[in-house]
Amino acid sequence: MREKSARIGENARASRRVPVHDGRVTRKRLHRATGDRPAPFWTTKTLAEMTDAEWESLCDGCGRCCLQKLEDEDTGRVHLTVVACALLDVRTCRCSNYAERARYVPECVRLRPDNVASLVLPTTCAYRCLAEGRPLPAFHPLLTGDPRTVHTAGASVRGWAISGRDVPDEDLEDYVVALSEGDDRGS
């Protein structure tokens, strides 16, 4: 087994591209809130119980799960890069063709209640938060009512992600920025 260097791109043999969404956790039912106003759905339903619209609204649009990752074939460690999927609009941090993404990016894994725990997701991702029994982050648009707060809080890839259209696959190792190991399944 090789020694890992500080600069992944030089010595680590990152050979296999990892599905964009990739991880493991157990879903927990959160307690129903009390008070006059109805408790928000994400506090009363499990991920599996949510409607499609509720499920989709959980995505804060951070774009972090759309960053490309490399797996070191010697260690199995997943390395995050600043290079986004070619379909990600790095300005809006949204998929530019969400409806047809499977056609153009077959390795894009559809998030489901039963695979959230096994995918590489940032700690702030709402799906991961709920799956781990944690509340939504304070910047989440469902709490603030403003989709921009994911950006103003610095939680999105806006301003630093590079479009995959501009980086050849063979150069990806030069853009590794962080390790993903243990409980840190993403960023």
Least spacing, CB of residue 126 vs ligand SF4, in Å: 5
From the list 51, 45, 43, 46, the residue with the least C-alpha distance to 142 is 43
Least spacing, CB of residue 9 vs ligand SF4, in Å: 22
Which residue lies nearer to ligand SF4 by CB, 32 or 135?
Answer: 135
Least spacing, CB of residue 43 vs ligand SF4, in Å: 17
Pairing label, strands 88-89, 94-95: antiparallel
CA distance 123 to 111: 15
3-state SS class at 83: strand
Least spacing, CB of residue 88 vs ligand SF4, in Å: 4
For residue 41, give the amino acid letter.
F
The residues binding ligand SF4 (CB under 6 A) are 20, 59-66, 85, 87-88, 95, 98, 101, 105, 108, 111, 121-122, 125-127
Which residue lies nearer to ligand SF4 by CB, 83 or 105?
Answer: 105
Which residue lies nearer to ligand SF4 by CB, 60 or 173?
Answer: 60
Least spacing, CB of residue 136 vs ligand SF4, in Å: 10
Which residue lies nearer to ligand SF4 by CB, 14 or 85?
Answer: 85
Which residue lies nearer to ligand SF4 by CB, 126 or 176?
Answer: 126
Contacts 24+ apart (CB under 8 A), 2-10: 2/74, 2/75, 4/72, 4/75, 4/77, 8/70, 8/72, 8/79, 8/173, 8/176, 9/173, 9/174, 9/175, 9/176
